[in-house]
Structure 1
Amino acid sequence: MKNNEIKRLNAAMKDTTDKRLYERILAVRLRLEGHSFTEIGDLLGRFRQTISIYWQSYQEQGLAGLERGASPGQPPKLTEEQRHQLAAMLEQQQPADVGFEARYTWTLPLVAEWIKREFGITMSVRGISAMLKRMNFSFTKATYTLAKADEQAQAFFRKHTFAQLKKQVEAEAIDHLLFEDESMIRSYQALQYNWFPRGKQRKVPTYGKHEGAKLFGAMNYETGQVHHREEEKADVAAFIRFL
């Protein structure tokens, strides 16, 4: 009899275009297959109580009970203030900043551990994932940024210094305008994905103290021509050879 019931549920899932109804039917089918409310809740990103309500509605009214909809379950486990605190922490701090030694990207298990530690609240990783998506966070890859970069100096160069240099090139006061840079292909630890506000990217400060290849390069602003040279050391002698 249970197999026939599961077949009817599978047929109903195929026939519906309502995603919420599909989820409720799936929850009931998983329950019939022997899964606990907690297991189903973790799988679907719902509270255990919500799955229990789905099951009760089905037991009392069959598929009709699911089609009428079910209660969305208990209120969010975190208060609005706690969610704001969580969002600020994820955006402004790395795990290592708040006691997770040698961890630099936020994963769901780490977020769950932080919530448990700070608020005394236990949440499943699926529940946290659903909550973060509602908070407009996404799972993105971090990027490196210079820890000692001077943003004001960079802005001044773009707005004033570079503009003056272009005028000198146009007036033929200087022959060429070259942009030169040195780079090292370093053996950094691979960056990982982590939870961060949607549309933004976490930047991991780096101080460049790693071994790797040393490259010198220059680009002619007028022609776009690029010249480069690889050296064993990035020192004055290597720079002079490059010039």
Structure 2
Amino acid sequence: MDILILNKIAGHEDDINELKSALKKTKNTRLYKRYSVLLKHFDGFTNRKIAEMENLEEHTVSTYIKNYKSKGIDGLNIGHGGGAQKKINSLQEKLIVETITTKTPEDVGFESKMNWTIELVRQWVIKEFNINMSHRGIAYVLHRLNLSYTRPTYVLAKADKEKQEIFKSDFKALKKCLNGLVDTILFEDESMIRDYQAIQKSWFIRGQQRKIPTFGKNAGVKLMGILDYETGNVYCEEHERYDAKIFNDFLENVLKQYPKGKIVVVLDNAKIHHAKLIQPFLNRVKDRLELMFLPPYSPEMNLIEGLWGWLKASVINNVFYKSLPQVRTAIQKFISNINKVPTQTIDRLCVRL
């Protein structure tokens, strides 16, 4: 079993307080990540572990730490190099962001092109603004506008935006009740973790592919879990199936995990969550536990969904397990390790709502 031993760096309380304050105030995602890197450094994590946690290269982590030590917090305002005076004004910058985030290239005249690349952005800038810029210059502009080349995710087209906004408003009000009328907010979900889940990008020798052997089977571990919105703690159970009786038992175990105070559980609209069988239990514990349902077709608003993706990317994807017990062990180690440093779970999963 991997044991995480932290050698906390002493004598940097002022640095830590300054970084925490800056992290809370910034709206720049790149600076947020850099502050987070330094806080983990002062917590005693190695550069390699920080790189793994923050999805960065190890040399990048080293650069952030080196710049901070030489120049202080201003050293984290790392630009993308010098260059000529800005060719694009602020109104044009806003239009670039709006176009990239709300339209496809085909929408603005590039036939049969559905995904933005730097070259397509460059061509659009020439066409729209009559400004000729280099590939590197456009890349700099995109970075400065806080845009990045990322993998998209699916959302359900049936989602009701109005209901989603109502939920966000209700959840905002719920948060204000924390440590008052409400003591704990939990996000609940179920997930099947298969013995081999998916292939994802990984570093390997150029021109070659990593080979992942499989048995061609489709077995998996069924998990039912909760994510504590305030503390970042994760609690999961494994079950052979999902039904109302098991969900009822799971909620009873949640009350055992939180023996005091009022709990609100945020969850989706699966049939077992509305089953008649669980209603007597909910009526009996209504002073202690309440269910708050997400809008239909809104999995991205269930924060624990991010946990399943994190788990799979960390210990399941690109890995071959010969047996389900090995999968179970990997899952248990992952949950145990993230619960040792719940702040990283909060930073990763609990800041979206």
Normalization by structure 2: what TM-score? 0.27
Q: If the length of structure 1 is used for normalisation, what is the TM-score?
A: 0.36
Considering only CA atoms, is the larger Rg found in Structure 1 or Structure 2?
A: 1
Q: As a proportion of its length, which structure holds more strand?
A: 1
